Structure 1
Amino acid sequence: MRLYTGNVTDPAYNATVRLTRALDRAGVRYEFDGVNPDAGANWNAWQENLIDFVPRLFRTVPDHGPSAGHGRLKGEITPPAAGTTPTPYVTEDGFVTFETTTDFTDAKHVTLWANDAPGGSWLRIPMSREGDRWRATVGPLDPWFYYYKFIVDRVSVKDTSNPTKVTTEPTWSTFFISGQRSRLLSDVPAGQGGKVESLTYRSNVTNQDRTALVWTPPGYDPKRAQPYPVFYLQHGGGQNHTDWVEMGRAKQILDHHFLDGNLVPMVVVMSNGNVSDFNKELLDNIDPAVRARYNVSGDPSQQALAGLSMGGGQTFGMLKAHPGRFAYIGAFSAGFGSGAGVDVAAINNGTKLLRVYVGDVTDFVYPSFMAGLTTMDNLGVHYEFDGVTPGPHGWDVWQKNLIDLAPRLFKR
């Protein structure tokens, strides 16, 4: 007799704990394959069970212990009582329990949507009714930054018990699992990081006042003799100037890189790219406002521009229209586009670094991105390709892109 169970997300986990105790008390011999750490109550787990079990039938086998990597039972798992703990509730080993409020007692169908699949892909996980609330437990999740929402009878709903917010996605909430893998996304100790400030400027493109967020490094000196390099970091479509801070963890990434000694002291500007003429907005409005308020350089060799998705397209547009205006260029999940009229010599002579990034085949811009590489190759544009970043058109990918790009700036 050989017993199998998944991790604590397996509804049979507690029953297996009780069964093994009963068998031990009764003196019944059995084998236990151990707790599958990665799966529970799904076909991945059951397929692994069958793969292990079938070769043991009708013959003598030397190994009667658990499968490699499987752990021991740790006793019955009892989630906190409904309504008694912050949501989501995260255990030390990375299992996460989500819980709605009592507002959806009469709902027919509730699911959890989150970036908890490999590479940060999104899954919809059915939630179960527990009393007058709905619950779901997932995991174990790797240390990282996660975001989610509830879908109640096909309507997106925010977890109002979670105080986090995403300005451009009002139904999203976020949470963080700490660990070495997510260290660069974590908050640095209080008082040791840089500052994020709001900069209000007048736009002659939109004819209104607009806002950018600006990160200054620890020890920023407005009177320093040598002006700081400046890095303009742009968001994607459907987003605005708040997203790199609220979702991209830009402050945390920059803080850690600076404290680790990887980052040239610089000023980073995250502006609102939702305009009809981005080049004019950046060159005539944002850049002058930044140089008026901050001690930053106007030398193109000390200026960088990068963006994700739409912002990456805007970055390529600036590169083509004003080659050499920004010596450091980064594009995340964006295609180069047409090669018509491109001044290749001006780009190559004026650009110290052009580095491009894309997610895997689940990133919907992957085909156009790859076509863009071919275009640049045919034109003779000098660039670096970081290789495919595992994951979709989403923040897990873009956070990793920024982690790679930021330490490369202003070092050539």
Structure 2
Amino acid sequence: MTVTHALEADVLRRQDPELADVLLGERERQATTLQLIAAENFTSPAVLAALGSPLANKYAEGYPGARHHGGCEIADVAERLAVDRAKDLFGAEHANVQAHSGSSAVLAAYAALLRPGDTVLALGLPHGGHLTHGSPANFSGRWFDFVGYGVDAESGLIDHEQVRTLARTHRPKAIVCGSIAYPRHLDHAFFREVADEVGAYLIADAAHPIGLVAGGAAPSPVPYADIVCATTHKVLRGPRGGMILCGAELAERVDRAVFPFTQGGAQMHTIAAKAVAFGEAATEAFAAYAHRVVANARALAAALTAEGLVVTTGGTDTHLITADPAPLGVDGRTARGRLAAAGLVLDCCALPHADVRGLRLGTAAVTTQGMGEREMPVVAGLLASVLRGGTEAARAREDVRELTAAFPPYPR
């Protein structure tokens, strides 16, 4: 813990000891359990400092130079820094950094390009699509007519011929490429080709791989998509939030879709933290980190396969892995609970062409902690032993504590 954070924690403990205990408890939980959720990571102390800065006090509706509130001179500098760094990092003509989340970014992209009732082609939810890709419980499924494409039953890879056939049949206004549970790189050039053939916009939902893109460990959708939506946490290792990248011709439509159409005042402390994260992601150290994330994911996928789990697509190109634990005698939902009790924190997810749920896990957070390919078989062994019933939760919990003690996420 830095001196500044120690002082802030001391202030909180004096004023609100009950909440201070909650926050310290969460700090302890993160430090003593394995964070294997593919969508989570540890931000740097600098990002945390920006999140706790006085910019949290500033109301700043609008955009730099055109705010609806006074006193935004410093806020404008912070947002311009974030925008310029995002554009440089991803090679984009325009960046909007105000989106509150990845879902907010997708909502704004739809608002910029579509009207209610338009047809959209996206990866089906049972095959790894996100809620914003047509779930009936989400605005996307209620406002637009979604058609879902899927993955091949044998390979687990996106069925490109099905995508092309559905696009020709339904003539969608937009095609979405992106997933929350697809472990392979997407062929953005293919999706661009199909979108051009049917006269559709191409929206890339890059919430998961955008950090790998920043580090040169995954192909960029920016040269191909009309709009790229992303989060600033996950592998990118920034604050929880969203961003949108696009060409200059769509800049005004995107900005107006964010504010005033879907959001109010910008969260300036979060935007400042995004600027910090973009700056960190532009370094050689981050590029090395991104490649280590992928190497660790491949090592973990191989180790899980050796332990008897069925890893979808036979491996991964990215930070995430999806796997079926059924060969170990347990379904995904039960496995998640059993593993959580042992200190291994991950998600369950739908498995394509199956009625059962599997596991979804990632290596971004453990890589930030300093773990490498040598530790991945250890993690896989702990996971498999718990699921087989060979190790009691309490014993596994101690093994996890011992492992994480060697790799603290923050200095103590």
- TM-score of the superposition, structure 2-length normalised? 0.27
- TM-score of the superposition, structure 1-length normalised? 0.27
Larger radius of gyration: 1
Of Structure 1 and Structure 2, which has the larger fraction of its residues in strand? 1
Of Structure 1 and Structure 2, which has the larger fraction of its residues in helix? 2
Instruction: Point out which structure has higher relative CO (alpha carbons under 8 A, 6+ apart).
Output: 2
